[in-house]
């Protein structure tokens, strides 16, 4: 075990004290891991739009003070009682969802939605004892989606930690903890386009670009990007997108435009926006008889999906996905290997790298639409 095992560790963390206000660098105390938990030393983390969304707290229950962050790579510092698949020194990726290994979902080959460790954005404590492992002068600091990687050390449920190849560069593979796997898996694992097929990607943010990367890896010949911002097309070309449609440029529904472009519809469509209209368009633009549409974006809680039943009866398929249908512990190491073999290109997702002390810059870049992924280097 490490020399710090069983002890409280004092370290730096970027704490959000209130909604929408800059994070403050604080000295926090990080308690040792309890049964079934792991304490990680975070070496690299990145900013995902989900962090920004909950930091702004415009549509959710605010929970502050809090340590955000959920895309990261690090090294296991110590493990709690009963943890057998990890040991100190292992290289690992913490993930916002988990794999307990025992529930019906974990035992199913068709699901990755663990009953115990499925994402819970409202929980600011550990499952084990409903207590936080972070504190400042005795005041508990809330966790975020079980990861809280904007801290030099964090405590995570062992089922939410994937052990990976120690040769993999953590400053690159850390982005697999959330958005990239979500888009990539939506295409590769769920849409499953065949070589030479056509794929429409709705939304060309980080998740949509990852979905396009999945279509490129799968050998799709026509990858059509659909976005309301035409300037995104140039960047999307790097991810295999070779045609572009801006719905605002047409006086007919975009699904009709795509159907006319593709002689009846695309083979596959992946929706990555959260817009209910984009979801409907994605489904209605796939070809009858074999078309498959996959929904990735999270809609407004009051939205309702509306389409004519004949669209289903005409043998179109509608699917949803969560984290690209990847089981974190089982599948994430294999995605890392795909990168190590040169099959998956991660560098093109990384637009900025900054030191931990400048973490608020990452929020500025994302709010201005200047970054896909900004890597935050914990050790300066």
Q: What is the DSSP string of 101-119?
A: SSSHHHH-TT----TTTS-
Q: What's the pLDDT at 379?
A: 85
Neighbouring CB atoms inside 10 A of 1's CB total 11
114 is a catalytic site residue: yes
Among the listed residues 66, 222, 287, 373, the single catalytic one is: 373
Q: What is the pLDDT of residues 314-342, one digit of tens each?
A: 999 999 999 999 999 999 999 999 999 99
pLDDT beneath 70: ranges in the chain: 1, 380
329 is a catalytic site residue: no
Among the listed residues 114, 174, 181, 374, the single catalytic one is: 114
What is the 3-class SS of 183-227, one letter each residue?
HHHHHHHHHCCCCCCEEEEECCCHHHHHHHHHHHHHCCCEEEEEC
Among the listed residues 26, 37, 66, 71, the single catalytic one is: 71
Rg of the chain in Å (alpha carbons): 21
Among the listed residues 11, 29, 49, 307, the single catalytic one is: 49
Measured CA to CA, the distance from residue 231 to residue 293 in angstroms comes to 25
Q: E strand or H helix at 313, and its extent?
A: helix 310-313
103 is a catalytic site residue: yes
Among the listed residues 160, 174, 178, 272, the single catalytic one is: 178
Among the listed residues 39, 100, 133, 272, the single catalytic one is: 100
DSSP calls for 248-305: GG-SS-HHHHHHHHTTS-BSEEEE-S--HHHHHHHHHTBPTTT-EEEE-SPPPTT---
178 neighbors 332 (Cβ within 8 angstroms): no
Q: Which two tokens stand for residue 42?
A: 């975070």
Q: Is-above-0.75 flag for pTM?
A: yes
Q: What is the pLDDT of residues 248-260, one digit of tens each?
A: 999 999 999 999 9
Q: What's the pLDDT at 301?
A: 80
DSSP calls for 18-61: STTSPPEEEEEEEPPP-TTEEEEEEEEEE--HHHHHHHHTSSS-
Among the listed residues 118, 123, 352, 377, the single catalytic one is: 118
Among the listed residues 37, 99, 106, 329, the single catalytic one is: 106
Give the residue among 304, 331, 21 at the shortest CA–CA distance from 182: 331
106 is a catalytic site residue: yes
Q: What's the pLDDT at 2?
A: 73
Q: E strand or H helix at 367, and its extent?
A: helix 359-367
Q: What's the pLDDT at 102?
A: 96
Going from N- to C-terminal start, the domains of the chain cover: 9-23+47-67+78-179+325-377, 183-321
70 is a catalytic site residue: yes
Among the listed residues 39, 45, 50, 374, the single catalytic one is: 50
374 is a catalytic site residue: no
Q: What's the pLDDT at 89?
A: 97
272 is a catalytic site residue: no
160 is a catalytic site residue: no
Phi, psi of 116, deg, nearest 5: -80, -40
**Topology annotation, domain 9-23+47-67+78-179+325-377:** Quinone Oxidoreductase; Chain A, domain 1 (3.90.180)
Distance separating the N- and C-terminal Cα atoms of the chain: 26
Q: What's the pLDDT at 154?
A: 98
The verdict on domain 183-321 having CATH code 3.40.50.720 is: yes
Q: What's the pLDDT at 61?
A: 80
Q: What is the pLDDT of residues 259-318, one digit of tens each?
A: 999 999 999 999 999 999 999 999 999 999 999 999 999 888 889 999 999 999 999 999
11 is a catalytic site residue: no
352 is a catalytic site residue: no
């Amino acid at each position: 075990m490490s020399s710090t095992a069983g002890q409280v560790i004092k370290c730096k963390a970027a704490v959000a004290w209130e909604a929408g206000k800059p994070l403050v660098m604080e000295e926090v105390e990080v308690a040792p891991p309890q049964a079934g938990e792991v304490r990680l030393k975070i070496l690299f983390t990145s900013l995902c739009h989900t962090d920004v969304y909950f930091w702004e707290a415009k549509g959710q229950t605010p929970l502050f003070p809090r340590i955000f962050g959920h895309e990261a790579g690090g090294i296991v510092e110590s493990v709690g009682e009963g943890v057998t698949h990890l040991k100190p020194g292992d290289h690992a990726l913490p993930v916002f969802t988990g794999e307990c290994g025992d529930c019906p979902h974990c035992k199913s080959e068709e699901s990755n939605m663990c009953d115990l460790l499925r994402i819970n954005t409202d929980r600011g404590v550990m499952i084990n004892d409903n207590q936080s492992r972070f504190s400042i002068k005795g005041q508990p600091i809330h966790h975020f989606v079980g990861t809280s990687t904007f801290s030099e050390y964090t405590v995570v449920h062992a089922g939410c930690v994937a052990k990976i190849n120690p040769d993999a560069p953590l400053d690159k593979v850390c982005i697999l903890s959330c958005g990239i796997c979500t888009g990539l898996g939506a295409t590769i694992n769920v849409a499953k386009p065949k070589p030479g097929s056509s794929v429409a990607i709705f939304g060309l943010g980080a998740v949509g670009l990852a979905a396009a990367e999945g279509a490129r890896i799968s050998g799709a010949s026509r990858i059509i990007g659909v976005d309301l911002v035409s300037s995104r097309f140039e960047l999307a070309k790097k991810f295999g997108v070779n045609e572009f449609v801006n719905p605002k440029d047409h006086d007919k529904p975009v699904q009709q435009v795509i159907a006319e472009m593709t002689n009846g519809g695309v083979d596959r469509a992946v929706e990555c926006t959260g817009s209910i209209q984009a979801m409907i368009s994605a489904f209605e633009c796939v070809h009858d008889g074999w078309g498959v549409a996959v929904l990735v974006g999270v809609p407004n809680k009051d939205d309702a999906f509306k389409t004519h039943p004949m669209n289903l009866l005409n043998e179109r398929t509608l699917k949803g996905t969560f984290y690209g249908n990847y089981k974190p512990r089982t599948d994430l190491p294999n995605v890392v290997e795909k990168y190590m073999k040169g099959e998956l290109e991660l560098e093109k997702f990384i637009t900025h790298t900054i030191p931990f002390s400048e973490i608020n810059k990452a929020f500025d870049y994302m709010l201005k639409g200047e970054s896909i992924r900004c890597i935050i280097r914990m050790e300066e």
